[in-house]
Amino acid sequence: MAKTILTCAVTGGLTKPEMTPYLPITPQQIADSCLGAGAAGAAAVHIHVRDPVSGKQSMEFDLYAKVVELIRAQNKELIINLTTGPGGRFIPSEDDPKVFAPGTTLCHPLKRVEHITKLKPDICSLDFNTMNGATDIVINTPLNVRKMAKVIRDAGVLPELEIFDTGDLNLALDLIADGTLDGPGLFSFVLGVKYGLNADPATLLYLRDQLPVGARWSAFGISRFEFPIVAQSWLYGGHTRVGLEDNIFLKKGVLCQSNAELVTKAKRIIEDLGGDLASAAEARSMLGLKIAS
């Protein structure tokens, strides 16, 4: 079987600092965590940034730029995958659902990709989901996804198509069919988010079998589904992802102390099944990415 590309999502935006003391917050901490994950076996790192004081998710360009600079100063092969997810969350007011409540981040779609234009990472995420959360809604309309996709294409960045539900996949396939996105595509299946895709073998098999011929794909599970989906994704011929964005436990009741620990466990699972992880250089070749200058 082909080697497996392992991505590490080092901090995310929804994992809270009070949930674990090991969550990287500052640009230096995030960069160090990315480098540690790479040393442990990850070929790619998926990056959000956070306000260094509050620890909350941020969209500040200077924070993205600093993290990328710190990583590239030490490792030019590690694949950098920047998020474009922040800016899509809407929390309706209880008195008037047309009015947003505190915590809403919904903004113009072009604001969400400004850092992609300026930094030109190897990969960036592109979310297709409009879905319920615990108390809020994530909104990614087809029109806004198209606007973001054009900016990503013009920047020469490879979009990773984030699929949270079956309708997301149908939208992505439509955008490939009409030329908005280049096919056959790089897909990422997000399994185990409440009100999204179930984290089970049948769901993953269905998703895989809907893809265009030649498409590359990965899958990852949220929380307790993280490591089962590492194995299941490998068994179905896909790539995978782990990281503190998705799960903070090494095993039941035991907090992991670094992203590198999660990568190390995922690597062991894949190797125990008979697989091998792709190096960053090998993953670049597989995805058609040049080494960063």
> CA triplet 203, 209, 212: central angle to 5 degrees?
135
How far apart, in whole angstroms, are the C-alpha atoms of residue 228 and residue 220? 9
Question: pLDDT per position in the chain (293 positions), as tens?
Answer: 699 999 999 999 999 999 999 999 999 999 999 999 999 999 999 999 999 999 999 999 999 999 999 999 999 999 999 999 999 999 999 999 999 999 999 999 999 999 999 999 999 999 999 999 877 899 999 999 999 999 999 999 999 999 999 999 999 999 999 999 999 999 999 999 999 999 999 999 999 999 999 999 999 999 999 999 999 999 999 999 999 999 999 999 999 999 999 999 999 999 999 999 999 999 999 999 988 76
* Spatial contact of 7 and 239, defined as CB atoms under 8 Å apart: yes
pTM above threshold 0.85: yes
- Residue ranges of alpha helices (H) inside the chain are 27-40, 61-74, 114-119, 142-154, 166-177, 201-209, 226-235, 259-272, 280-287
Name, in order, each residue with C-beta under 8 angstroms of 100's C-beta and a sequence gap of 6 or more.
90, 91, 92, 93, 106
Q: Taking the domains of the chain in order of start, what are their residue ranges?
A: 6-287
Closest CA to 159 of 142, 174, 176, 177: 176
Cα Dmax for the chain: 56
Name, in order, each residue with C-beta under 8 angstroms of 91's C-beta and a sequence gap of 6 or more.
100, 101, 102, 103, 104, 135, 136, 137
Specify the pLDDT at position 293.
64
Specify the pLDDT at position 275.
98
Specify the pLDDT at position 193.
95
CATH, domain range 6-287: 3.20.20.70
Quick one: tokens of 1?
Answer: 């079987």
Specify the pLDDT at position 131.
96
pLDDT digits (tens, 9 = 90+) for 62-121: 999 999 999 999 999 999 999 999 999 999 999 999 999 999 999 999 999 999 999 999
**Alpha carbon 135 to chain centroid, angstroms:** 22
> For residues 25-46, b (16+ Cβ closer than 10 Å) or e, as one string?
bbbebbbbbbbbbbebbbbbbb
Pairing of strands 89-90, 57-58: unpaired
Residue 126: in which H helix or E strand, if any? strand 123-127
Backbone angles phi, psi at 92, to 5 degrees: -75, 145
Name, in order, each residue with C-beta under 8 angstroms of 254's C-beta and a sequence gap of 6 or more.
none
How far apart, in whole angstroms, are the C-alpha atoms of residue 80 and residue 154? 18
Quick one: tokens of 133?
Answer: 């959360």
